[in-house]
Structure formats: structure tokens, C-alpha cells
Chain A
Amino acid sequence: MLDILPQLLVNGIITGTLLAIPAIGFTAIFAVLRFPNFAVASHATIGAFAGYAANVWLGLPAELSLVAAFLVAGLVGVVSDEIALRPLRPYGALTTAIASIALTIVLENVVRLIFGNGLRGYDLPLVRDWRVWDIRIGPQQIENFALALILMAVVFAALRFSRIGKAMRAVADNPALAELKGIDPVRIGRLTAFFGMGLVGAGGMLLGLGTSIDPLTGFRFILPIFAAAVVGGLGSIPGAALGAMVVGLGEEVALLVLSPAYKSAVGFMAIVLVLTFRPRGLLGERAY
């Protein structure tokens, strides 16, 4: 049985890297706006379908379609937040989180209305998997992995070096002090909703590239995304990347002892274990 472990580890690392993108979006929104936005489910779907429309309808390559996924999900993210969630934020994180579940149902059904319920696949060249020793890996998987790493590097560089990135971190750290220093928290909130949901949309497409997509694509990933953010420490961006790796590897390696039907239980287990032994998450102290 252990002979498939190397294959599972490779699969886990790739899944974890792809999962990190929407998990970073989710945790960034939590850090700045202070509520868990479960509308990430529908935004991952919207990104996947926006990428599909760019790729199949407009004939753009996957890399450019990923930009479309980011932009459309980001725009829907900022507009829907403005209309549905921002007015509720003064009533607390729980109220807003519940509203975000309602929002995700609405948006998911808008996707259903436009694209229907059927499964759809991206227009990608058919290529044979590579075989290295006994490990099979597809060129598309490698490309997705590389795209996810590039996106992550851009996010880290933006937060570390750009003026807006630093302002976002300041608001996440101490919103009252940030406002005293002249930072407009509403503007930063909008930018975070745009970039956060943009990342979720790009992540939705990256996760969908390896398989087919349907209106429930995002919903299926909500648990591992949430688990990754909680395991890493809610609000911590390196934590989300680390948590995604833990969940991705955990889901794959669990296949040694679990039937694939129970794969999603790994996310639950990871949340339970972390909340029991390290409630602030693996990197809960670090905000970026």
C-alpha cells in the first residue's frame, strides 16, 4: 500500500498549492473585514465559469482566462459585498457570516441561470501524463501548480512592499489606529473584497482546470478552504498557505486508510484537531 505514497504526496502538494489561493483570499477578507465570508463558495464558482467563458467562448488560453476569472470574481465580490454584506457589518460577524451564506446561494443560482446545471470542461490540449519513476503527473497539473505559485508570490510581494498592501495589513492589525493614521478603512475594505474574491475566483478556476466544473464547484471546496484558513490561523496569510498544504496533503495521504468518499472528513478533522490543541492556528500570530 505504501508504494502509492509518493504519488499521493505529489498529488497532495499540488492540491495544497491550488487550495492555498482561495484560502488566502478567504483569510485576507477575514483579517480586514473581520467576518468569515462563506460567499467564497459562489465566487470560486463564478471564477471557474468566468474562466470557462474566456477559454471556451472567447478562445483565450488558460493563463489569460485565469486573469478573467480573477477580475470577474473580484468585481462580483466588491459589488455584492457593497450591496449585501457591508450594511450588515455593524450588526456583528455572525450576522454578516450568515448573510454571506444567503449571498452564496443567490450567486450560485445566478450562475445556474446563465450556464445551466450541466458539467463543463475547459478547452485544454490533450497531452499524455509524464511518468517519473512510478509517479504520474500531467503537464497541465504542473502548469496549474506554477500559476498558483506565481500568484502566491505576487500576493506576498504586494503585501510586503506595496503601499496598499501595507495599508491592508495595518487595517487588519489595528483598524482604529490605521484610521488615526489617515487610512480609509472603507476603501481598504473594498480593495480587500476585490483582491480577496479575485483570488478565490482564480483559485476556483485552478481547482476546476484539473476536472470539470458545474455550479456546485465552489461549494465542494468550501470545507477545505475554510479548514486551510482555520488550520493556518484565521487572518494569517502565510498560515492559509501552510494550512492549505496540511489539508491538501492530509486529504491525499488519508486515502491510504480511508475510502475516497471520506476524503472531505479530513478538513473537519483538521479543524477539530487545531481548535483543540492550538486554537489560534499554526501561524495565528502572524498577520501576513
Chain B
Amino acid sequence: MSLFEARDVVAGYSPTDMILKGVTVTAAVGEIVAIIGPNGAGKSTLLKSAAGQVHVAKGDISIDGRKITGLRPRDVAAAGVAYVPQEQNVFTTMTVRENLEIGGYVDAAGSRDRIDAALRRFPVLGEKARDAARTLSGGQRQLLAMAIAMMVAPRVLLLDEPSAGLSPVAARDMFATIREIADGGVAVVLVEQNALDALDLADRAYILAAGQNHTEGTGADLAADPDIRRTFLGGRQTGDQR
């Protein structure tokens, strides 16, 4: 059974401008689900709707059968959903350690051990624990954003373009980290521009177009489909981007 479910979601920034026009996406425990599609397809809007940042006009979003549609962002977070925005995803004026502390704000006692564990797991963050987050490189910031999200031991992780702005090596490390997190029993839903790499990483993927579901399937099947490759992946073979 799916842990995360978004069913027939209609959502947007104003009643006359619905970006999502009935999108359905599900993710199971330990599964990585990629959302790909052209610009304006509604990929990021879907994540923001799930995180409580965009108004959902119709449809339901639930975690483990519990409806989270219409909840405020902090209540969605308390329900076990962590959302990592593409940009402005760290507190730049605060130190790395303070960022992690704020990440665990709703579970201060539980997050203490997780902070130390995160600083050990990502030595680059450990070395800069007392530095302001604005001094981090792009890749280090993305890593910190992910570590902040993990401070509350979420059950669902929503990632908006986690590899944006990263070097190929840093992106590969990032994807390996995402796989580790999923293997720990977290349902991961990620939006990626880097579609071929996303399909390579994901267990399943959805292609969105014009605010609706276009196709879904396993990452490997979609990457091998000539029509999908021509229309959505720029006609290249899997792995061409690397």
C-alpha cells in the first residue's frame, strides 16, 4: 500500500489559474518516485501542494491514509512530511548546526542525536558546523537542506530539484544519499530537470504535462521508451547526460 498518495489534485495560485488539473501520484515506503516533465507541467506545484504551500481546490493528499490536504505547512511537517524547496532552502544567517537545530524544532529532544549523526555522516557539514550557512558552496547547501529535512525523521521526503546547480560528481553523491534515505524506509518524491538521471535513480516515475498525468512506469521502462525519449527526454539515450 502507498504511504504517500495525491489523488486527482487540482491546485494553483489563484482560482482562475489552476496549474494542476487532476494529478495522481503515489509513493510507497522505501520507494523513490521521480516526477518529470516539461517546464510549466506543474511538478514543483505538486510538491508545494503536498507541503501545504499551495491551495488545493480539489482532490486529496494523504500520508498513510491520513488526509493532509489543506493543512498548514507546519502541520504537514508535524504529520511526517519534509519538503526541501529548490531555492532558499537553508537559513543563510544561521550556522550549520543552528540550521539542523531548527530542522528539528518540532522534536528538539529527538533531534539532538540526529544532529550529531548528520554532522558525522556528512563530514563537510561537520567541519563547517559553526560557520554561517551562507559560506557553503551550492552542493554543500543542498546537502545541508537535505540534512535539515531529516532532523524530524520524516516518513515522506519531497525534494524539488535536489541536483540543481551541482557538479556531476556532487549530483551523483546527492543521488546516492537520496537512495540511502529511501532504503531507510522513507518514501521519496523528487522533481528533477535532469530527467535521465532521475529515471536512473527512481523506482517509478510519473511524467506530467500541462498539469495532468501523461505516463507512469518504472524508471527503466520510461527511459527505454522511444516516444517518451523523443518527447520528454530530448531523444537521447539513457546515460548520455553523464
Contact = CB atoms under 8 A, between A and B. Distances in A.
Interface of A: 163, 166-167, 169-170, 172-174, 176-184, 285-288
27 contacts: A163-B108, A166-B98, A169-B91, A169-B98, A170-B91, A170-B94, A170-B102, A170-B105, A174-B91, A176-B73, A176-B85, A177-B85, A177-B89, A179-B73, A180-B51, A180-B53, A180-B74, A180-B77, A180-B83, A181-B74, A181-B148, A182-B77, A182-B152, A183-B105, A286-B93, A287-B93, A288-B93
Interface residues of B, number: 26
Contacts of B74: 179-184
B72 A179 contact: yes
A146 to B, nearest CB: 30
B105 A167 contact: yes
A167 B94 CA distance: 11
A285 B91 CA distance: 12
Contacts of B51: 180
B106 interface: yes
A173 B103 contact: no
Contacts, number: 68
Contact of B101 (A166, A179, A184, A287): A166
B93 A181 contact: no
Contact of A176 (B77, B88, B108, B148): B88
B176 interface: no
Interface of B: 51, 53, 72-74, 77-78, 83, 85, 88-94, 98, 101-103, 105-106, 108, 134, 148, 152
A181 B82 CA distance: 8
Contact of A181 (B53, B92, B106, B134): B106
Interchain residue pairs A-B with the least CB separation, the first 9: A182-B106, A287-B93, A173-B91, A182-B74, A179-B73, A170-B102, A182-B77, A173-B93, A180-B73
B227 to A, nearest CB: 37
Nearest to A173: B91
A83 to B, nearest CB: 23
Contacts of A163: 105, 108
B108 A181 contact: no
Given A170-B94, A183-B74, A177 B88 contact: yes
Which of B83, B90, B93, B134 lies at the interface centre, i.e. has the most chain A CB atoms within 10 A of its CB?
Answer: B93
Contacts of A288: 93
A55 to B, nearest CB: 39
A279 B121 CA distance: 41
Contacts of B152: 182
Contacts of B101: 166
Contacts of A182: 74, 77-78, 105-106, 152
Nearest to B108: A163
A174 B148 CA distance: 14
Contacts of A170: 91, 94, 102, 105
B91 A177 contact: yes
Nearest to A235: B93
A169 B106 contact: no
B72 A166 contact: no
A181 B102 contact: yes
Given A166-B101, A180-B74, A182-B74, A173 B106 contact: no
Contacts of B73: 176, 179-180
Contacts of B134: 285
Contacts of B148: 181
Contacts of A287: 93
Contacts of B105: 163, 167, 170, 181-183
A173 B89 contact: no
A169 B93 CA distance: 8
A31 to B, nearest CB: 10
